Structure 1
Amino acid sequence: MPEITRTRPPEDADERSTLTGLLDFLRSTVELKLNGLTEEQAFARPVAPSELTPAGIVKHLTAVERFWFSIDFAGLDLEWPWSEDDPHGGFPIAPDDTVASILTSYRTECARSREIVAATSFDDLARSEGMTFNLRYAVAHLIEETARHLGHLDLLREATDGEVGE
């Protein structure tokens, strides 16, 4: 597994550097929450009656990256990240999912999102039909979404193996 490095964004940067830096810091923290878990731990549901698993949350965040940046904002013709049975983006796990495959997919999707963000203005509007948000909104939304689910990952990780931290 590649080394996971978190870099705090500068506190006195411009808007783009601040927002993308915060999002990248949160993305790295997501990876750290799975780091060190066994397959069994990553796919366990340690907080009853919730069906949330650490791996399921990261898989959900991968789909959110694809949906907001690649599909809705950039208008790319990519596979829809959720099934017809779960069109609003739940946290399903497939039988062949592994921690490594989920982290690889997350890293790949985040890299594609970074490329899209770097190539466009924060004022650019989403390209998909019926979408009216700009890139600034998408980045802010992903910061909120990633941070919210990191709270879930904190709880699940502590319940799984007692590990606490940022």
Structure 2
Amino acid sequence: MATEDMPGGSTPVERQRPPMTADEATTLEAWLDFYRDTLALKCEGLDEQQLRTASAPPSELTLLGLVQHMTEVERSWFRRTLTGENVSSVYPTTGGQHSAGFTLLDEVSAEQAMTTWRDEIAVAKRNCANHVPDSTTTLHDQEVSLRWIYTHMIAEYARHDGHADLLRERIDGETGV
């Protein structure tokens, strides 16, 4: 597939396996990147309509909705929580804070959503570069470490990558990755 045909006009995703022996920060970052790349791979090669398809009825979940949701999750944990940045949501929330981003808007293209997601990941990486896993911040009057945030984000991506795998298989039969 040509680069310009991919959502966001990016280069093809090259997912790297995390190192088997590395320090804690490198290991956590590598596993998070692995799962981020997995979601990108699940979207790779699909057109706008396919990314917007709720392919596993009765669920309304879409691959594009997962990308938008993970944009909000990245934004929440690595900007609002880790650095205390006061940033608004990018996408509407319906049904509570855990549903942020799942609703698709006609005026937001897959290319725009993918770019916004990549931009949030870049900000998250910059913010994490200034902290070590033991760094703490406060969330709802409780201390939370960057280690906990990384672990939560790895679990969040792994869970949604499973959803993405099923959605992708229902769209065009593509499995694995």
- Class of the TM-score when normalised by the shorter of the 2 chains: over 0.9
Map of 1:44-83 to 2, 5 A cutoff? 44-81=53-90, 83=92
Q: Label 1:158 to 1:152 Cα distance change in 2 as closer, same or farther (>3 A).
A: same
Deviations 1:75-128 (A, max 9, x none): 012113564644323111112121111110110001111111111121111256
Q: Supply the AA of the counterpart residue of 2:42.
A: K
Report the TM-score when normalising by structure 2. 0.88
Equivalence for 1:11? 20
Task: Using the TM superposition, name which of 85-94 and 113-122 deviates more.
Answer: 85-94
Report sequence identity in percent.
Answer: 37
Could you tell me which runs of 5 or more consecutive residues in structure 1 were left unpaired when the two chains were aligned.
Answer: none
RMSD: 1.6
Q: Given the two structures, how large is their TM-score scaled by the length of structure 1?
A: 0.93
Question: Which residue among 30, 42, 62 is the counterpart of 1:21?
Answer: 30
Q: Deviations over 1:16-71 (max 9, x none)?
A: 11110010111111111111111111101111100101100111011000001100
Which residue of the partner structure matches residue 41 of structure 1?
Answer: 50
- Mapped to 2, the partners of 1:159 and 1:151 lie a distance apart of 13
Letter in 1 for 2:55: P
Structure 2 gaps of 5+ residues are 1-8
**AA matched with 1:100:** E
8 Å CA contact 2:68–2:91 kept in 1: the answer is no
Aligned to 2:125: 114
Instruction: Please state which structure has a larger fraction of its residues in strand.
Output: 2
Whether 2:147 is the aligned partner of 1:136: answer yes
- Which portions of structure 1, spanning 4 or more consecutive aligned residues, are displaced by more than 2 angstroms? 80-87, 127-131
**Cα distance change on mapping 1:85 and 1:150 into 2, 3 Å:** closer
